[in-house]
């Protein structure tokens, strides 16, 4: 219900939950139900990138911006997601210096590629996901307070599956049907204990 409400607004969203709870699925559902559904949906895992590559992935880079850069430069995720939604997964692991750059983009709605001077306007809705309590990270000094409040317009907490007992049966039935189709095998019954 919260995701449906978030879909009709243009507000930034933070989705919190343990790893494996389906945060990206919630983000995709918000995008699909939103007015931006015809635009791109891009996801970037902030924890999976080396610290020095985050800026080039988010904001892009100009030709010759650094050693090994593509000779024609490259757009960043903000440019590529313009008109759509950008999901920043594991936002709690983003380095503080990059958080400042992200805040600037959210405020100004424009990016400048690394090594360039031209400003590029972007129209992107940002959905963030984290398995951390960002407010606790703010208190510890690991996450910028101003960025937290900029992102935390709509907050959705996804409980772990162990707290969603009825969902287990629905998911079990879904995966049983999917695997049965793939293997071309029909399961007639499953013991209730299973």
Structure tokens at 52: 């020095």
Q: What is the pLDDT of residues 102-152, one digit of tens each?
A: 999 999 999 998 888 889 999 999 999 999 999 999 999 999 999 999 999
Residue 172 exposure: Cα atoms within 13 Å on the Cβ side: 14
Cβ atoms within 10 Å of 47's Cβ, excluding its own: 12
Question: For residue 131, which of 11, 20, 40, 52 has the smallest C-alpha distance?
Answer: 20
Determine what percent of the chain is predicted with pLDDT higher than 90: 60
Contact 82, 38 (CB under 8 A): no
- 27 pLDDT band, cuts 50/70/90, is very high
Torsion angle of C-alpha atoms 167, 172, 175, 180, degrees rounded to 10:
-150
Length of the chain: 194
**53: confidence class by pLDDT, cuts 50, 70, 90:** confident
Mean per-residue pLDDT of the chain: 90
pLDDT of residue 188: 79
The rounded distance, in Å, linking the Cα atoms of 58 and 86 is 10
Per-residue pLDDT at 32: 96
Does position 64 have pLDDT exceeding 80, yes or no? no
């Amino acid at each position: 219900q919260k995701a449906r409400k978030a879909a009709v607004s243009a507000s930034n969203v933070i989705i919190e939950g343990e790893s494996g709870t389906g945060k990206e699925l919630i983000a995709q559902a918000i995008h699909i139900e939103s007015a931006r559904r015809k635009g791109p949906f891009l996801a970037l895992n902030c924890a999976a990138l080396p610290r020095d590559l985050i800026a080039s992935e988010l904001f892009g880079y100009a030709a010759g911006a650094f050693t090994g850069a593509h000779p024609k430069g490259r757009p960043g995720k903000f440019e590529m997601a313009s008109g759509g939604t950008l999901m920043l997964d594991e936002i709690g692991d983003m380095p503080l210096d990059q958080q400042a750059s992200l805040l600037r983009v959210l405020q100004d709605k424009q990016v400048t590629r690394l090594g360039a001077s031209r400003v590029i306007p972007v129209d992107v809705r940002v959905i963030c996901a984290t398995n951390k309590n960002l407010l606790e990270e703010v208190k510890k000094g690991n996450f910028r307070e101003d960025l937290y409040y900029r992102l935390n317009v709509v907050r959705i907490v996804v409980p772990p599956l162990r707290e969603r007992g009825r969902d287990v049966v629905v998911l079990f039935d879904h995966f049983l049907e999917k695997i049965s189709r793939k293997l071309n095998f029909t399961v007639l019954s499953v013991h209730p204990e299973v």
